[in-house]
């Protein structure tokens, strides 16, 4: 099935939030903190605009607690007397004219008595920088299996390494945007978002309203990548506060520079590895320390850290593992969800480290990986027994042979020996990605899906899962149509409007097709039972039975429903961080060929192979698109995308100087799917969205290290960084 909303997007007819015309709408904008930390002494309003024509909101206009409802409630909706990061929202302004609104924002001065800011997560804060506990640590987590110190003491080889990654900006092409208005006493917000019910919870809390007093509608969303997981809650609150005060609809659309400067990014990370091997290269111990920069508030950092440390040990069997993780408060713009959610950082460290270990032990990097790959019956770092029948060594070998890891070795060596300034290399990474919420997360979510049977025999899929480009609309339609034997035209997927759709959980964590899709199938089965059919009924029988039900129950609503049930045998211990971290893992091996120009120190990916086992493929074009898009985002993170930080804020907040890959920067991405259906995923599917973010970083770094002998231990490997690494490698 081709993308259902595809033509509407190709022709520009799709109405995104900024395309929606609302009569009498005001423009809303934000006055932000100029300082990373300090007491707000005064807010000065100038004389450049007629303030009587502006609607102005500050923290005193918040009806409920001045808190953005998330894991913790430490983040204010609007800073009151204290600010903890540059660009923190302080005052909101609305006006009919966008120009006047801009001028008004520029006419407000926030005066801050600055206090010492903590800007470095890798070192202990000075006493005057401490703002949480006695060390600014927001959360620590630990995984421990076996006796790491004992195993390291007896290991034939111990290899250490330190690896770092920088922040990454999402650059969804549609910036954040929201419209808010009040209708019959209900606060309604409509905008670009991944998680409508997160916004509902945020509105309820800070506006002190019952659920019936708020309504959230997802507008078509021009990309998310995690960046529209938690931030839209802020924007919805801001727009709602302005709309409540103005008693008129208010639209807030971030300009690119504001979006890049003020919204969340991928957490910067530093990971230390100390790995023990026996004489044959078998991994006997992993001692891993993970630190991530949380930024100024807790936001989602503890969960990002959790996924990060669970993936830190990688797809290898090792009896003795210790992984310590911490997320640290700094006075930086808060970091948040970004495709991969902590795993790309720790998997970069691990898979770059495996090449370092291979070199140290004089082993072939593929062979070292192959002998250590987890086999059925063996356990992950958390003690989860893997028993899925997937041939992980075959995945690795497939990627290695497609890129020509062996065959190109000599070719590159002779090329590099003779070419005056070009150097070529290949690299590989093998990894896994857990699909769905971590641990008991899916159980806690209690996701719910409804399938309505309509009087004309068609059905409507009701979920809060959002289409943001990944293909949820097409996949849900396919699943319902296949399950009921109906034509795609007989399936309607409801607009995510919390007045109508149940809470099927957030659209995150690669869970939509696998987890919510499975609920769609089960809700279809339930619908069939409610109209007196067994779940093997297909096609006209189903349509007729639905129509018949309505003739017999005139005016009533017909729903099939399903609520999440965890697959049997899945158990997670959140206290000790042991057990089944995920229902299932997708497995992959990615390989890159690179060429470095020693005149400019720029590195180019010249070939890329992505081999993965993702259960069953529901829609080949959509699945391939997810992989190719994720790989290119990963190439950007590996080579180009550097957030230059100044006083905890992004300095290069423009697409002119924050460089993402163009079509000319990347090769065709060769994608191979190996299928092994997962019993508890829709049509056998596993999660797929985040997986492709994990592999490019280490595969490319390994290729660069092979080509020019640098440490390649920090991402992004920009020309500036490669030049510095070259200098220190050849001293």
Partner 1 sequence: MSDVNTMQIEFTLNGTPTKVDVAPMDRLLDTLRYALGLTGSKEGCGEGECGACTVYLDGVPVNACLVPTFQVRGCHVETIESIPHESLDAMLTSGATQCGACTPGVVMTACWLNRHPELSKTHSVRELMAGNLCRCTGYDGIIDGIECEQRTKSSTL
Helix ranges (H only) for 325-461 are 343-360, 365-372, 392-403, 407-418, 441-445
Closest approach of Cβ 21 to partner 1, in Å? 7
Closest approach of Cβ 392 to partner 1, in Å? 25
Which one among 23, 410, 534, 664 touches partner 1, defined by CB under 8 A? 664
Closest approach of Cβ 336 to partner 1, in Å? 17
Using rule CB under 8 A, residue 222 touches partner 1: yes
> Do 479 and 518 meet the contact criterion of CB atoms below 8 Å apart?
no
Using rule CB under 8 A, residue 660 touches partner 1: yes
d(CA 263, CA 234): 10
String of contacts with partner 1 for each residue 175-204, x by CB under 8 A? x-----------------------------
d(CA 642, CA 207): 37
# binding residues, partner 1 (CB under 8 A): 57
Q: How far is CA 671 from CA 2, 469, 596, in A?
A: 19, 19, 24
Sheet of 714-715: strands edge to edge? 137-145, 320-329, 283-295, 269-277, 157-165, 714-715
> Do 465 and 516 meet the contact criterion of CB atoms below 8 Å apart?
yes
Using rule CB under 8 A, residue 624 touches partner 1: yes
Closest approach of Cβ 159 to partner 1, in Å? 34
Contacts of 347 (CB under 8 A, 6+ apart): 311, 312, 314, 429, 431, 694, 695, 697, 698
The residue among 9 and 538 lying less far from partner 1, judged by its C-beta, is: 9
d(CA 584, CA 143): 19
CA-nearest of 161, 165, 466, 129 to 304 is: 165
> Do 188 and 207 meet the contact criterion of CB atoms below 8 Å apart?
no
Using rule CB under 8 A, residue 631 touches partner 1: yes
Closest approach of Cβ 662 to partner 1, in Å? 4
String of contacts with partner 1 for each residue 233-272, x by CB under 8 A? ----------------------xx----------------
Using rule CB under 8 A, residue 672 touches partner 1: no
Closest approach of Cβ 8 to partner 1, in Å? 8
Interface segment toward partner 1; rule CB under 8 A; list 3-11, 118-126, 132-140, 567-575: 3-11
The residue among 220 and 695 lying less far from partner 1, judged by its C-beta, is: 220
Q: SS3 for 207?
A: coil
The residue among 10 and 409 lying less far from partner 1, judged by its C-beta, is: 10
Interface segment toward partner 1; rule CB under 8 A; list 11-19, 40-48, 491-499, 522-530: 11-19
The residue among 631 and 701 lying less far from partner 1, judged by its C-beta, is: 631
CA-nearest of 101, 59, 95 to 77 is: 59
d(CA 382, CA 404): 34
Residue 95 CB: number of other CB atoms within 10 A? 25
Using rule CB under 8 A, residue 470 touches partner 1: yes
Instruction: For residue 6, give the H/E element and its range.
Output: helix 6-10
59: left (phi over 0), alpha (psi -120 to 50) or beta: alpha
The residue among 23 and 534 lying less far from partner 1, judged by its C-beta, is: 23
Using rule CB under 8 A, residue 24 touches partner 1: no
Which one among 69, 121, 172, 431 touches partner 1, defined by CB under 8 A? 172
Which one among 621, 676, 711, 724 touches partner 1, defined by CB under 8 A? 621
Which one among 174, 287, 351, 593 touches partner 1, defined by CB under 8 A? 174
Using rule CB under 8 A, residue 27 touches partner 1: no
Using rule CB under 8 A, residue 220 touches partner 1: yes
d(CA 112, CA 324): 37
DSSP state of 637: H
Interface segment toward partner 1; rule CB under 8 A; list 169-177, 308-316, 564-572, 702-710: 169-177
Using rule CB under 8 A, residue 106 touches partner 1: no
Contacts of 452 (CB under 8 A, 6+ apart): 459, 460, 462, 557, 558, 559
The residue among 176 and 372 lying less far from partner 1, judged by its C-beta, is: 176
Give the end-to-end CA distance of the chain in Å, rounded to a whole number.
57
Using rule CB under 8 A, residue 673 touches partner 1: no
> Do 678 and 406 meet the contact criterion of CB atoms below 8 Å apart?
no
Using rule CB under 8 A, residue 9 touches partner 1: yes
Backbone angles phi, psi at 239, to 5 degrees: -65, -40
Using rule CB under 8 A, residue 694 touches partner 1: no
Query: Is omega for the bond preceding 716 within 30 degrees of 0, making it cis?
Result: yes
Closest approach of Cβ 472 to partner 1, in Å? 11
Interface residues toward partner 1, by CB under 8 A: 2-3, 5-16, 18-19, 21, 170-175, 220-225, 255-256, 468-471, 621-622, 624-625, 627-633, 654-656, 660, 662-666, 668-669
């Amino acid at each position: 099935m081709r993308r259902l909303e595809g033509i509407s997007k190709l022709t520009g007819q799709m109405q995104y939030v900024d395309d929606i015309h609302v009569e009498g709408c005001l423009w809303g904008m934000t006055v932000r903190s100029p300082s990373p930390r300090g007491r707000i002494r005064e807010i000065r309003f100038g004389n450049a605009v007629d303030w009587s024509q502006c609607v102005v909101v500050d923290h005193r206009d918040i009806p409920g607690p001045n808190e953005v409802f998330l894991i913790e409630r430490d983040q204010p909706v609007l800073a009151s007397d204290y600010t903890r990061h540059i660009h923190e929202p302080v005052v909101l302004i609305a006006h009919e004219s966008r120009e006047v609104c801009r001028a008004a924002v520029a006419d407000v001065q926030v005066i801050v008595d600055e206090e010492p800011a903590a800007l470095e997560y890798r070192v202990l804060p000075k006493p005057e920088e401490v703002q949480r506990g006695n060390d600014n640590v927001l959360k620590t987590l630990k995984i421990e299996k076996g006796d790491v110190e004992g195993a390291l003491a007896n290991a034939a080889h111990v290899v250490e390494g330190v690896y770092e990654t920088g922040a990454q900006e999402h650059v969804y092409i549609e910036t954040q945007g929201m419209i808010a208005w009040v209708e019959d006493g209900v606060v309604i917000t409509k905008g670009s978002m991944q998680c409508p019910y997160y916004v509902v919870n945020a509105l309820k809390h800070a506006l002190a309203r019952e659920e019936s007093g708020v309504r959230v509608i997802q507008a078509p969303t021009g990309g998310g990548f995690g960046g529209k997981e938690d931030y839209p809650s802020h924007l919805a609150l801001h727009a709602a506060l302005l709309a409540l005060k103005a008693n008129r609809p208010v639209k807030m659309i971030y300009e690119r520079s504001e979006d890049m400067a003020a919204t969340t990014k991928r957490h910067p990370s530093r990971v230390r590895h100390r790995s023990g091997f026996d004489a044959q290269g078998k991994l006997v111990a992993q001692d891993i320390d993970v630190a991530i920069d949380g930024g100024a508030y807790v936001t989602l950092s503890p969960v990002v850290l959790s996924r990060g440390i669970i993936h830190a040990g990688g797809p290898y069997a090792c009896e003795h593992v210790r992984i310590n993780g911490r997320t640290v408060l700094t006075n930086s713009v808060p970091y948040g969800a970004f495709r991969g959610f902590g795993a790309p950082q720790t998997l970069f460290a691990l898979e770059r480290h495996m090449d370092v270990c291979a070199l140290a032990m004089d082993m072939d990097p593929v062979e070292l990986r192959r002998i250590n790959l987890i086999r059925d019956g063996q356990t992950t770092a958390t003690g989860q027994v893997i028993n899925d029948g997937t041939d992980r060594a075959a995945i690795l070998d497939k990627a290695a042979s497609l890129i020509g890891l062996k065959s190109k070795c000599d070719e590159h060596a002779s090329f590099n020996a003779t070419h005056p300034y070009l150097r070529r290399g290949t690299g590989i990474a093998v990894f896994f990605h857990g699909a769905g919420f971590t641990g008991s997360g899916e159980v806690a979510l209690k996701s719910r899906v409804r399938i309505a049977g309509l009087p004309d025999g068609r059905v409507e899929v009701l979920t809060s899962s959002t289409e943001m480009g990944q293909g949820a609309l097409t996949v849900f339609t396919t699943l319902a149509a296949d399950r009921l034997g109906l034509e795609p035209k007989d399936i309607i997927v409801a607009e995510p409007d919390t007045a109508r759709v149940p809470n099927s959980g957030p659209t995150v964590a690669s869970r939509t097709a696998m987890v919510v899709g499975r609920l769609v199938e089960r809700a279809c089965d339930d619908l069939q039972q409610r109209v007196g059919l067994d779940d093997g009924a297909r096609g006209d029988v189903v349509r007729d039975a639905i129509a018949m039900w309505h003739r017999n129950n005139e005016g009533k609503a017909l729903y099939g429903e399903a609520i999440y049930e965890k697959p049997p045998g899945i158990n997670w211990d959140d206290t000790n961080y042991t057990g089944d971290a995920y229902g299932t893992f997708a497995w992959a091996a990615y390989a890159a060929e690179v060429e470095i120009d020693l005149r400019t120190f720029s590195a180019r990916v010249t070939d890329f192979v992505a081999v993965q086992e993702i259960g069953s493929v529901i829609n080949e074009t959509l699945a391939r698109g997810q992989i190719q898009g994720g790989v290119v985002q990963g190439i950007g993170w590996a080579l180009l995308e550097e957030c230059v930080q100044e006083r905890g804020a992004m300095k290069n907040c423009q697409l002119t100087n924050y460089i993402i890959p163009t079509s000319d920067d990347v090769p065709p991405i060769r994608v191979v799917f190996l299928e092994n259906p997962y019993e508890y995923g829709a049509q056998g599917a596993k999660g797929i969205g985040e997986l492709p973010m994990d592999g490019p970083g280490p595969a490319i770094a390994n290729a660069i290290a092979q080509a020019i002998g640098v440490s390649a231990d920090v991402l992004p490997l920009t020309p500036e960084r490669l030049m510095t690494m070259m200098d220190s490698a050849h001293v």
